[in-house]
Amino acid sequence: MTSSAPAPRTGTPPVRTPHVGLVILALAVGGFAIGTTEFASMSMLPLFAQGLGIDAPTAGHVISAYALGVVVGAPIMTVLGARVPRRRLLLILMAMFTLFNGLTGLSPSYHWMLAFRFLAGLPHGAYFGVAALVASSLVPANRRTRAVGQMFLGLTIATVVGVPLASWLGQAVGWRWAFALVALLGIATMSAVAAFAPEVRADDHASPLRELRALKRPQVWLTLGIGAIGFGGLFAVYTYLADILLTVTRMPLHSVPWVIGVFGIGLTAGNMIVPVFADRALMRTAGVLLVWSIVTLGILPFTAGNVWTLGLNVFLIGIGGALATVLQTRLMDVAGDAQGLAASLNHSAFNTANALGPFLGGLAIAHGYGWTSPGWVGSLLAVCGLAIWAMSVTAERRDDEVAAEPC
């Protein structure tokens, strides 16, 4: 008998290129651009809410629109691009990203901004999915998570540098200029990818149908569930962090980007440290990160009154963001031949979390539980993610036992 869980792709030799570091750097620039627009939009929520004449909960719908674009776009873009060479596909996706972020900065009204944010989200998941596959193809199998983590450093460094810079720019000269900055970063990404990414032809056997086969695998769905539910708490807190700092911690507006930068330092530290453990024990590391999030999100209401305790708490919450990198590698292991779709769906899952977390956090605030209530909401979401993780581990062990039985 055979196990229904596919084995990791450990026998595929790495793609030969003399500039592995430069390729990963080029891919990371795209992650920096995407991270800047995704997280800066959350931190600038009070600014464009005021500029467009809407309240904060309504402005939160703009954040959800981008997340919805990622959820919808990741599978569609990946399936349509199944036979497109990866380098060319990366350039197409980043061109779309650049165009619609530029148009976001020109939005004449709330409804136009809502539409442009949805369109800007369409290439997000597919870009990260293809970039993760390219990064992992450059190194031996036992270093895949670290390579993906290095690519994701662009996103995490964006929360340290790009988001505070965009937030400062938004406060200094207007939020529209922050999206102009993102469009410039998109152009820089296209230049770097064109210069350094290897020319790898599409798989002759690739097809939309083969990519869709990933959806038949239970472990793919369980892994996506861990991300979609368990990661929601991080977004629930991050979306309302600026409001927490202004109303609970009572910090001046100009100091908000610095605390948000602390969150980014936590994300970056997590993406540098956690993949080393994940390459040795992938699912165990995922479980530890979920428990970590349960605790760090749950204590937020008790730390928000003081900038120093809140800053430490935000840093620790950021470390839990390494779950994205861990689950990216997990999807490569369980997807079989449908690597592209599975890799991109990871970002559909996390942007489902990006829509779910702020929505539930906003409900808690609207019902009078206070600005810090998203911390408790997030902790409960991490508990649910841990339950799905336990289901995945149990199912995999059962399949392994069945596979070990004599036929």
Q: Does 403 score more than 80 pLDDT? A: no
The predicted model gives 282-309 an average pLDDT of 94
Is residue 195 classed as helix, strand or coil in its secondary structure? Answer: helix
Q: Does 12 score more than 60 pLDDT? A: no
Q: What is the pLDDT of residue 292?
A: 96
What are the structural domains, with CATH classification, of the chain? 20-404 (1.20.1250.20)
Q: Give ∠ CA 309-377-160 in degrees, rounded to 5.
A: 50
Q: What are phi and psi of 406, to 5 degrees?
A: -65, 140
Specify the range with the lowest mean pLDDT, choosing from 13-17, 282-286, 313-317, 354-358: 13-17
- How far, in Å, CA of 115 to CA of 140, rounded? 42
Q: What is the pLDDT of residue 211?
A: 66
Q: Which residue has the higher pLDDT, 205 or 18?
A: 205
Task: State the pLDDT confidence band at 385, using cuts at 50, 70 and 90.
Answer: very high
The helix, strand and coil proportions of the chain, stated in percent and rounded to the nearest 5, come to: 80, 0, 20
Q: What is the pLDDT of residue 289?
A: 96
The predicted model gives 72-87 an average pLDDT of 84
Q: Give ∠ CA 283-38-146 in degrees, rounded to 5.
A: 35
* Average pLDDT of every residue of the chain: 84
Distance linking the first and last C-alpha atoms of the chain: 5
How much of the chain exceeds pLDDT 90, in percent? 32
The predicted model gives 247-262 an average pLDDT of 81
The predicted model gives 52-81 an average pLDDT of 82
Q: What is the pLDDT of residue 187?
A: 96
pLDDT tens by residue, 362-372: 899 988 888 99
Q: Which residue has the higher pLDDT, 3 or 191?
A: 191
Q: Give ∠ CA 256-259-264 in degrees, rounded to 5.
A: 125
Q: Give Cα 177 to chain centroid, integer Å.
A: 23
Q: Which residue has the higher pLDDT, 275 or 401?
A: 275
The predicted model gives 141-167 an average pLDDT of 83
Q: Which residue has the higher pLDDT, 242 or 103?
A: 103
Residue 202 neighbours by CB distance under 10 Å: 15
Task: State the pLDDT confidence band at 8, using cuts at 50, 70 and 90.
Answer: very low
Question: What is residue 203's DSSP assignment?
Answer: P
Task: State the pLDDT confidence band at 2, using cuts at 50, 70 and 90.
Answer: very low
Of the candidates 205, 199, 194, 195, which has an alpha carbon nearest to the alpha carbon of residue 86?
199
The predicted model gives 291-319 an average pLDDT of 93
Q: Does 391 score more than 50 pLDDT? A: yes
pLDDT tens by residue, 321-333: 999 889 988 888 8
The predicted model gives 92-114 an average pLDDT of 92
Q: Does 206 score more than 70 pLDDT? A: no
pTM more than 0.75? yes
Q: What is the pLDDT of residue 167?
A: 80
Q: Does 91 score more than 70 pLDDT? A: yes
Residue 167 neighbours by CB distance under 10 Å: 27
Task: State the pLDDT confidence band at 280, using cuts at 50, 70 and 90.
Answer: confident
Specify the range with the lowest mean pLDDT, choosing from 39-53, 161-175, 227-241: 39-53
Q: Does 20 score more than 70 pLDDT? A: yes
Q: Does 113 score more than 80 pLDDT? A: yes
- How far, in Å, CA of 322 to CA of 275, rounded? 8
Q: What is the pLDDT of residue 406?
A: 67
Q: What is the pLDDT of residue 317?
A: 95
